[in-house]
Amino acid sequence: MYKVFVNDKPLFLTNKVEKETDFQIFLLESVDIEQLIIKMFSNKVNKALLYYPDEKAILKKMKQKIAVAKAGGGLVYNDKGKALFIFRNGKWDLPKGGTEKGESMKETAIREVEEETGVKGLEITDKLQKTYHVFKRNGQYKLKVTTWYRMKTSYNGVVEGQQEEGIEKVAWLKPAEIKEALTNSYENIKLLFEKESVLAE
């Protein structure tokens, strides 16, 4: 099962249908994906299931119906165990961005973290899950598939938000502050922290 977020509302791609559910169910084969997305953006649909019988092919089928944008991002920790966050559009987020021609996804993730925050000396320690959300650009809806990496750095210099990306601030947050930040973040970002030991009680 895949969890795609449309305006922070869940859209599940699944090969199983629950009998009792508060989700609206659509057939991936025949759904007008743009109409469904418009309804989710305008709050007419709050939760939806897209059903397709073949689980292995379900994401490929979705990608045939909507343009895909690939991105890479980082969940970065420093030597003090603090995590690197950015603040833009009124929410806490993690640095990420679109891949450029000829780049590997790891190169994209490191470059984007550096550009958006000014943090250097990044080392990838682990690959995290991919996240999926729908956004609109130039009048077209796209599915953004972000590959996330856990990173570490000993950098203790100045951090600075990339102004052209609308980043208002960059901060190293300790565990208690991370919990607070996640109350004003995106569902995809919360997903990344579900398995993070830094937030273990």
Query: In this predicted structure, what is the pLDDT of residue 61?
Result: 96
Query: In this predicted structure, what is the pLDDT of residue 19?
Result: 73
- Which parts of the chain register pLDDT below 50? 201
Query: In this predicted structure, what is the pLDDT of residue 198?
Result: 61
The tens digit of pLDDT for each residue in 10-63 reads 999 999 987 767 889 999 999 999 999 999 999 999 999 999 999 999 999 999
Task: Sketch out the chain's domains with CATH numbers.
Answer: 2-65 (no CATH), 68-199 (3.90.79.10)
Look at residue 108 and give its three-state secondary structure: helix
The DSSP 8-state label assigned to residue 190 in this structure reads H
Query: In this predicted structure, what is the pLDDT of residue 110?
Result: 98
Checking phi first, is residue 154 left (phi over 0); if not, alpha (psi -120 to 50) or beta? alpha
> How many residues would you count in the chain?
201
- 22 strand-pairing partners: none
